[in-house]
Each structure stands twice: as C-alpha cells, then as structure tokens.
C-alpha cells in the first residue's frame, strides 16, 4: 500500500484547536502528535481537503481514496439536520464491553476490528447551498494498511448500478447464486461477498412486503388496524 513520507506531508491539513477543545475531547488531544512519533506504516495518506458540490460526491471522493490506501471510513457523528459530519476510520472506537448477565454473552463472540483509530475528518455544508467543505482533523492512524479490503463492510457496499441489477434479476426470477455470478462477471474487481447480495435481496423483499401491506390497509382500512395505527404505519412507509 502507498504511504507518504515526512517531506511530502502537508502540515496545513491540521486545524488549530482552542484550549477548551483540547481539554474537553481526549481524541482531539492526539491530533497534536508529531509526525516523527508516528510509525511509517501508520502514515496512511488522508484524502485531499477541498470543496465539493454535494455530500455524496464528497463521500465518494473520501471512500475511493481510503480504499486505495488500505483503510475504510465511516460516519461517526452528525448533527440532527446532517449539515455537519465527523468521519473516521471504520476501525475507530473500541469493542463494546458486555456484562456477565448480558444475553449477548451466550452468543458466539466475533473478533472486533476496532482498535481506537484516531483518524478523523470533518465536513460541513455551506449555509443554503449543497456545497460541502472537507477538513482533516487528525491525519494519522494507529494501524497499518489492510491488504484484504474485503474485510471492511464499507468496501463491499454494492454500488447503485449493482443494486439496480440485483433488483431487476430478482424480479425476473434469477437465483441468488446466478446473480452473484453475473455481478462478478460484470465487475471482476468488486469486493462484495455472496452474503452481501443476499442481504440486498432480503432488503428488497422486506420493502415489497411493506408496500403490499400498505396497499392492503389503504384499500381496506376498516378490516385492518385501527385508523390511528394505519396512519402511523403509512407515515413510516
């Protein structure tokens, strides 16, 4: 995987912090880490800062860059109106601890990939426009690049075009394994797994069931749920 050296590192990606911010947020304190203190294998190049026309274009820019460098990103926090986003490495945070009485303790435990990675980006929408500004809050990771990006669910996400193919092929009765084969032939480098296609098919079937139930309630409301519950369900759909 590609990495960048001290000579090519641009210190302008850092955002100055106030004393209040430094004392109130432990993760933000790590942003003052000096480049020489970061192992070479953890210097995974961050995406370029800039202005983007639309949130999806910005997120697509970040995802493609991250995948090419051996990591993946996830939206960690956002404001209620989705005009401010904190975006981090998908290995940020720590595995949630479970108490001895938790029902989850009886399930098979999976190894967590989370390792408290401090990498963080900040994006904000310009007022009254769909223009987004991307800033880098903390450029470093605490783990090396991944050789197998299929381990990241975010990297296996089906594209809108692939989802359209899945929907069409399912509608004409194509089996799941044959849908997977078709998508792989169309895009051999795609990272998705058969279970990702199965999950998309399950989502489509749940949507069909919800639409069918809504249509039934609209045509025969008196024979279904009480009117107030019917209105609530229709709003949810």
Q: Could you tell me the CA-to-CA distances from 201 to 4, 160, 166, 171, 222 in Å, in that order?
A: 41, 14, 7, 10, 32
pLDDT in tens, 197-225: 999 999 999 998 998 888 888 887 555 55
Distance CA 80, CA 93 (A): 21
Q: What pLDDT score was predicted for residue 158?
A: 82
Distance CA 61, CA 74 (A): 13
Sign, CA dihedral 61-67-73-74, equals positive
CB 169 within 8 A of CB 186: no
Mean pLDDT throughout 6-27?
37
Res. 88 pLDDT band, cuts 50 70 90: very high
Q: What pLDDT score was predicted for residue 100?
A: 55
Q: What pLDDT score was predicted for residue 38?
A: 72
**Burial of residue 196, with CB atoms counted within 10 A of its CB: 0-12 exposed, 13-18 middle, 19 or more buried:** buried
Instruction: Output phi, psi for 53, to 5 deg.
Output: -90, 90
Percent of the chain topping pLDDT 70: 69
CB 90 within 8 A of CB 67: no
| DSSP character at residue 38 | S
CB 96 within 8 A of CB 124: no
Res. 134 pLDDT band, cuts 50 70 90: very high
- Of 19-33, 76-90, 98-112, the range with the lowest mean pLDDT is 19-33
Q: What pLDDT score was predicted for residue 157?
A: 79
| DSSP character at residue 130 | S
Q: 214 Cβ partners below 8 Å, 6+ apart?
A: 233, 234, 237
Res. 36 pLDDT band, cuts 50 70 90: low
Percent of the chain topping pLDDT 90: 31
Please indicate, yes or no, whether the overall pTM of this predicted structure exceeds 0.85: no
Distance CA 69, CA 147 (A): 9
Mean pLDDT throughout 47-70?
90
**Burial of residue 236, with CB atoms counted within 10 A of its CB: 0-12 exposed, 13-18 middle, 19 or more buried:** exposed
> Average per-residue pLDDT in the chain?
75
The closest alpha carbon to 125, from 181, 190, 57, belongs to 57
Task: Concatenate the DSSP letters of all residues of 40-68 into one string.
Answer: GGG-PPPPPPEEEESHHHHHHHHHHHHHH
Q: What pLDDT score was predicted for residue 99?
A: 55
Res. 7 pLDDT band, cuts 50 70 90: very low
């Amino acid at each position: 995987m590609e990495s960048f050296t001290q000579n090519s590192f641009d210190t302008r990606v850092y955002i100055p912090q106030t004393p209040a911010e430094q004392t109130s947020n432990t993760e933000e304190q790590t942003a003052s880490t000096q480049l020489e203190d970061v192992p070479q294998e953890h210097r995974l190049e961050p995406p370029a800062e800039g202005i983007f026309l639309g949130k999806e274009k910005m997120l697509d820019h970040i995802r493609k860059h991250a995948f090419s460098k051996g990591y993946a990103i996830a939206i960690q926090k956002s404001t209620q109106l989705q005009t401010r986003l904190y975006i981090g490495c998908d290995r940020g945070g720590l595995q949630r601890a479970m108490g001895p009485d938790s029902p989850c303790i009886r399930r098979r435990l999976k190894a967590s990939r989370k390792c408290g990675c401090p990498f963080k980006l900040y994006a904000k929408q310009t007022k009254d426009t769909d223009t987004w500004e991307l800033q880098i809050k903390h450029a470093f990771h605490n783990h090396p690049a991944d050789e197998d990006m299929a381990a990241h669910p975010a990297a296996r996400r089906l594209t809108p075009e692939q989802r359209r193919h899945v929907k069409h092929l399912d509608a004409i009765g194509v089996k799941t394994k044959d849908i997977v084969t078709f998508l792989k032939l169309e895009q051999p480098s795609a990272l998705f797994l058969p279970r990702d296609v199965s999950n998309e098919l399950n989502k489509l079937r749940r949507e069909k069931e919800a639409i069918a139930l809504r249509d039934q309630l609209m045509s025969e409301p008196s024979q279904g749920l009480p009117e107030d519950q019917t209105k609530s369900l229709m709003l949810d759909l």
